[in-house]
Amino acid sequence: MLARCDADGNKVLVVGGDTLAGMGLPPERVDLILNTTALDKLLEYVPTDLTLSAQSGMAVQAITTLLAQHGQFVPFDAPRPQYATLGGTLAAGWLGPRRHLYGRVRDYVLGSTIVLADGSVARAGGIVVKNVAGYDMSRLYVGSFGTLGVLASVNLKTLAAPRQARVFLARLPEGTRARACDHVAARLAIRPAAAFWIEGFPNAVDGADGIDGRMLILLEGSDALLERATRDLRSTLGRAGVPETRVVDAGAREAFQRVVDAYVASLGERSVTYRFGSQPDDAERRAIAVRELATRHELRCETIVDVMNGDVVMRVSALDSRALGSVIETFDDALHDSEPRAQVIASAHPHRSSLRVWGEPPATIERMRELKRRFDPNNTLNAGRFVGGI
Amino acid sequence: MLRQRLVDALGPDAVKTTPEDLAVYAFDAYTDGRLPSAVVLPSSAREVSAAVKIARDLDEPIVPRGAGTGLCGGAVPVEGGVVISFTRMNRILELDERNRRARVQSGVVNLDLSKHTARSGLFYAPDPSSQKISTIGGNIATNAGGPHCLSYGTTVNHVLALEVVDERGEIFVTSIDDAGYDLTAVLVGSEGTLGIVTSAWVRLLSLPESVRVWVVAFGEIEAASEAVSAIVGAGIVPTALEMMDSVITQAVEAAFGAGYPTDAAAVLLIENAGFEDDMDACEAAIRDIATRHGALSWRSARTAAERDALWAGRKGAAGATGRIAPNYYTQDVCVPRSKLPQALRAIEGAASEHHITVGNVFHAGDGNLHPLLMYDKRDLDQVAAVVETGNIILQSAIDLGGTISGEHGIGFEKRGAMTRVYSTADLATMARVRDVFDPRRALNPEKIFPSGSRCPEVSPP
């Protein structure tokens, strides 16, 4: 089917669970939609080998549930995992907040099968955990946004799941934000699995803001480790001027997932969510600078800072779509002056395509364009959706 | 002409063209070598760039070289050309403790980096056995592994950004944070065929607060490998899980007196590093499994000195076999962990059928085997037997769902075997990448890919 489209000059849009539809540009033209969700079979799972192979349309949640039954996991940390597909999550290059501890999802891809635009099928890697036979093509396909080929199946390595998880919430009194973020990121011997500074997102994410926002921290490990980690966290936050830290007793994983879901939760047509990366020691400062920029443009700003990895997620919004539309392009320009790499990860606003949704293309964009030309010379797959017009 | 232009650009000290000098760079740790046309020892990316431009002008291929410890001929100038040696680019440029990363020139020796960062409570995790000599650049070229990549991952998991000189001599930078395609990841493990890495940002980890090392002896290799499968299968992933058979332990003890029992058919060297709170439970769990699989003895290293001695013995194992035979040949196959027992049986069978002494020392936790086949290269019958044995072992691993190289790379040696694990279409995708970065095939030619393979000009029907 792909071969025919390619030969006929038709444009194909590849769609998975549509959970990250807020990323990238709308396609130049769509003659055919290739929906991968029917490719949802598990191919092989060998728990004692810590390897799993599945078709790319399998839902992330289905994989997570299966692995959990055997005390294993893969840190996808994707939003809305009941809908997110394996292939889509990988193709979008989604980066989860636990990656400083467990690695990026691409580090778990041992091999893949891809269908190229001309219909040919190619395999990369294998099923073993160490493999240097040739180029690591799977890692090239991860994050390629469906523009080099369609992932048909993926081989993953798995990890033993941590025994326990605990989520902490702390309202931040005035003047404590910078120290709290710094201490959590740098002064805990037992590093949190995830730690966020959050401002806003009142219904989406647990807890209420103090004057300086709130922190949500996920600790994972054995029972013994968690006891010590809890004591350390409380005393460390105390030293940062944060007197009270409460535990979210039931549903630590759900509380964590709500934060991840919030990354791409849009307020209909009246919000745009940006994401940019930073070094952990700089993220909080840069987040505040962008918040001030948003305020100057009369935009409401809600923020999630992943303090362990340095990611900043900001949802800017106005009272309605029209109000957003009148300032968003100016804001987008100003934002990219100070944060050239800021990307849009969620928005339903009609003017989205006029924003720099991928941020400034990297210096190597010409090489990337060449790669695209070699893999998909007729520009059949997801044309125009990706960085630099790819 | 070549010499003069290189000297003009880099100065006479940085250029070698006498036969005696060239001979040093004709070989790496592979069996064969060939003289290059010239060798340069640049001190900066700019000098690398200048050398590449000159080589390109004069149609000479380019062969980047770290310490030359590669086992597959990755640094051998098989078509002559200009060897670019990174010996002099060995500076640690930046150490960012707070953000746990360092920027290093390609010629920095792997172990030197960890020694330097130790003062800040950090270390660089990928630890190939060659780490006392091998360089970060070489490690990046082969996506080097080592015992500790069982838990920490291989080199590609620790590379954050690369500065690269391309085949035209232009310098470009890639980062894993770049939007677009992950060029950083595809460059790691590309064995110098896509670009010449001049420096890199690498990830550092915090030194663990607690380390325990255990030596476990078994009466049968099979039992030991089943224990390994059971440990990993139980979800216990120690920081390292290595196996040595008696051929190896006897050689190691004779050479180093490292502390291994020499009467056991197989010995496991297990390390767990992490938080003190978890150590006892982890030890108990592993010990329980080992006992159930027939472990004869269990010993904990009590001091740092004991631990270091055990590791030195393990990492020096290949060299220690010099007392058994003047030469060894090794494979680097990797099989699913549950297939370890079968793989070891296949190795034993092939070796005994061809009357070759084999010593197994390997990363059991990963299923990454290194059967050392001992021989004397002056005995041509033995050479033939070793080649045949190696071939059988390779095919056995492939038949068990494994790969032909877990960490050493393909280099020159294993090019022909690529078609045993990849189809034409599979190799064509890699050729497309090569066509973008090295269309003339000037960068480390005749490596990785079977000779003459290129992206097919004509599309398949």
Residue to test with chain B: of A94, A113, A135, A372, most B Cβ within 10 A: A135
Contact flag B179-A359 (C-beta cutoff 8 Å): yes
Contact flag B156-A136 (C-beta cutoff 8 Å): yes
Specify the CATH number for the domain of residue A310. Answer: 3.30.70.600
Dihedrals φ, ψ of B390, to 5°? Answer: -60, -40
Q: Are A195 and A229 in contact (CB under 8 A)?
A: no
Residues β-bridged to residue A52: A45, A156
Q: Is there a single domain that holds both residue A13 and residue A155? A: yes
Q: Is there a single domain that holds both residue A247 and residue A271? A: no
Instruction: Measure B161 CA to nearest chain A CA, in Å.
Output: 13
Contact flag A367-B338 (C-beta cutoff 8 Å): no
Q: What tokens appear for B83 in the block? A: 């060897």
Rg of chain A's alpha carbons, rounded to an integer?
21
Give CA–CA dist B257/B250, Å, rounded. Answer: 9
**Cβ of B423: how many Cβ atoms within 10 Å?**
12
Q: Is there a single domain that holds both residue A8 and residue A155? A: yes
Residue to test with chain B: of A108, A129, A137, A157, most B Cβ within 10 A: A129
Contact flag A371-B401 (C-beta cutoff 8 Å): no
Q: Are B204 and B123 in contact (CB under 8 A)?
A: yes
The three-state (H, E, C) secondary structure of chain B, written as one string = CHHHHHHHHHCHHHEECCHHHHHHCCCCCCCCCCCCCEEECCCCHHHHHHHHHHHHHCCCCEEEECCCCCCCCCCCCECECEEEECCCCCCEEEEECCCCEEEEECCCEHHHHHHHHHCCCEECCCCCCCCCCCEHHHHHHHCCCCCCHHHHCCHHHHEEEEEEECCCCCEEEEECCCCCCCHHHHHCCCCCCCCEEEEEEEECEECCCEEEEEEEEECCHHHHHHHHHHHHHCCCCCCEEEEEEHHHHHHHHHHHCCCCCCCCCEEEEEEEEECHHHHHHHHHHHHHHHHHCCEEEEEECCCHHHHHHHHHHHHCHHHHHHHCCCEEEECECECCHHHHHHHHHHHHHHHHHCCCEEEEEEEHHHCECCEEEEECCCCHHHHHHHHHHHHHHHHHHHHCCCECECCCCCCCCCHHHHHHHCCHHHHHHHHHHHHHHCCCCCECCCCCCCCCCCCCCCCCC
Give CA–CA dist A121/A22, Å, rounded. Answer: 29
User: Could you give the C-alpha distances from A71 to A162, B168, B280, in angstroms and in order?
Assistant: 8, 50, 20
Contact flag A122-B423 (C-beta cutoff 8 Å): yes
Structurally, how many domains does chain A consist of? 3
Mean pLDDT computed over B140-150: 94
- Of the CATH numbers 3.30.1050.10, 3.30.70.2740, 3.90.220.20, 3.40.50.970, which one belongs to the domain with range B325-435? 3.30.70.2740
Helix axes A223-239, A177-186, angle to 10 degrees: 150
Q: Are A96 and A74 in contact (CB under 8 A)?
A: no
Q: Is there a single domain that holds both residue A37 and residue A114? A: yes
Residue type, A152: A
Q: Is there a single domain that holds both residue A147 and residue A129? A: yes
Q: Which candidate from B209, B336, B448 shows the least CB-CB separation from A128?
A: B336
Give CA–CA dist A273/A294, Å, rounded. Answer: 12
Nearest-5° Cα angle at B440, B171 to B61: 75
Q: Is there a single domain that holds both residue A172 and residue A146? A: no
**In terms of Cα–Cα distance, which of B391, B331, B329, B314 is closest to B367?**
B331
Give CA–CA dist B426/B428, Å, rounded. Answer: 5
Q: Select from A212, A230, A254 the last residue of a domain.
A: A254
Specify the CATH number for the domain of residue A24. Answer: 3.30.465.10
CATH class of B208-313: alpha beta
Q: Is there a single domain that holds both residue A139 and residue A180? A: no
Dihedrals φ, ψ of B227, to 5°? Answer: -60, -40
Fold type of domain B92-206: 3.30.465
Where in chain B do CATH 3.30.465.10 domains reside? 92-206
Give CA–CA dist B450/B461, Å, rounded. Answer: 23
Instruction: Measure B203 CA to nearest chain A CA, in Å.
Output: 10
For residue B259, is pLDDT > 70? yes
Bridge-based pairing of strands A32-35 and A12-15 is parallel
For residue B80, is pLDDT > 60? yes
**How many Cβ contacts (< 8 angstroms) between chains A and B?**
220
A235 exposed, middle or buried (CB, 10 Å; 0-12, 13-18, 19+)?
exposed
Residues in chain A where the model's pLDDT stays below 70? 249
Residue type, A120: S
Give CA–CA dist B422/B53, Å, rounded. Answer: 34
Cβ neighbours of A114 in B, within 8 Å: 429
Q: B-contacting residues of A 208-227, CB under 8 Å?
A: 221-222, 224-225, 227
Residues β-bridged to residue B267: B217, B244
User: Could you give the C-alpha distances from A11 to A24, A33, A341, in angstroms and in order?
Assistant: 16, 9, 28
Q: B-contacting residues of A 162-181, CB under 8 Å?
A: none
Going by pLDDT thresholds of 50, 70 and 90, the confidence category of residue B461 is very low
Bridge-based pairing of strands B159-165 and B122-123 is unpaired
User: What pLDDT score does B457 carry?
Assistant: 43
Where in chain B do CATH 3.30.70.3450 domains reside? 208-313
Contact flag A106-B408 (C-beta cutoff 8 Å): no
Q: Is there a single domain that holds both residue A290 and residue A246? A: no
| Residue pointed to by tokens 């973008």 | B436
Instruction: Measure A195 CA to nearest chain B CA, in Å.
Output: 15
Q: Is there a single domain that holds both residue A90 and residue A123? A: yes
What tens digit of pLDDT does each residue of B363-421 get?
999 999 999 999 999 999 999 999 999 999 999 999 999 999 999 999 999 999 999 99
Q: Is there a single domain that holds both residue A8 and residue A78? A: yes
**Cβ of B223: how many Cβ atoms within 10 Å?**
18
Q: Is there a single domain that holds both residue A242 and residue A349? A: no
**In terms of Cα–Cα distance, which of A362, A6, A361, A358 is closest to A149?**
A6
User: What pLDDT score does B428 carry?
Assistant: 95
Q: Which candidate from B338, B366, B427 shows the least CB-CB separation from A46?
A: B338
Q: Select from A102, A130, A160 the last residue of a domain.
A: A160
B301 Cα distance to chain centroid: 27
Give CA–CA dist B146/B136, Å, rounded. Answer: 13
A143 Cα distance to chain centroid: 11
Instruction: Measure B3 CA to nearest chain A CA, in Å.
Output: 32
Q: What tokens appear for A275 in the block? A: 């994401």
Cβ neighbours of B206 in A, within 8 Å: 191
User: What pLDDT score does A310 carry?
Assistant: 97
Where in chain B do CATH 3.30.70.2740 domains reside? 325-435
Give CA–CA dist A215/A181, Å, rounded. Answer: 8
Give CA–CA dist B253/A274, Å, rounded. Answer: 60
User: What pLDDT score does B452 carry?
Assistant: 62
Q: Which candidate from B172, B277, B405 shows the least CB-CB separation from A225?
A: B277
The reply to whether the predicted model has a pTM over 0.90 is: yes
User: What pLDDT score does B460 carry?
Assistant: 36
**In terms of Cα–Cα distance, which of A53, A56, A41 is closest to A149?**
A56
For residue B444, is pLDDT > 90? yes
**In terms of Cα–Cα distance, which of B113, B108, B203, B106 is closest to B164?**
B106
What is the Cβ-side half-sphere exposure of residue A56, based on CA atoms within 13 angstroms? 28
What tens digit of pLDDT does each residue of B321-358 get?
999 999 999 999 999 988 999 999 999 999 999 999 99
Fold type of domain B2-85: 3.30.43
Where in chain B do CATH 3.30.43.10 domains reside? 2-85
Going by pLDDT thresholds of 50, 70 and 90, the confidence category of residue B453 is low
Contact flag A371-B432 (C-beta cutoff 8 Å): yes
Determine the 3-state secondary structure of A321 from DSSP. Answer: helix
User: Could you give the C-alpha distances from A85 to A38, A61, A80, B191, B347, in angstroms and in order?
Assistant: 10, 9, 10, 33, 41
Specify the CATH number for the domain of residue A213. Answer: 3.30.70.2190
If phi over 0 gives left and psi between -120 and 50 gives alpha, with beta otherwise, what is residue A264? alpha
User: What pLDDT score does A284 carry?
Assistant: 96
Q: What tokens appear for B235 in the block? A: 């979800």
**What percentage of residues in chain A have a pLDDT greater than 70?**
100
What tens digit of pLDDT does each residue of A46-62 get?
999 999 999 999 999 99
Residues β-bridged to residue B216: B268, B298
Contact flag A120-B425 (C-beta cutoff 8 Å): yes
Helix axes A365-375, B424-437, angle to 10 degrees: 150
Range of the domain at A221: 164-254
Contact flag A374-B436 (C-beta cutoff 8 Å): yes
Q: Which candidate from B142, B172, B426 shows the least CB-CB separation from A123?
A: B426
Q: Is there a single domain that holds both residue A233 and residue A115? A: no
User: What pLDDT score does A45 carry?
Assistant: 97
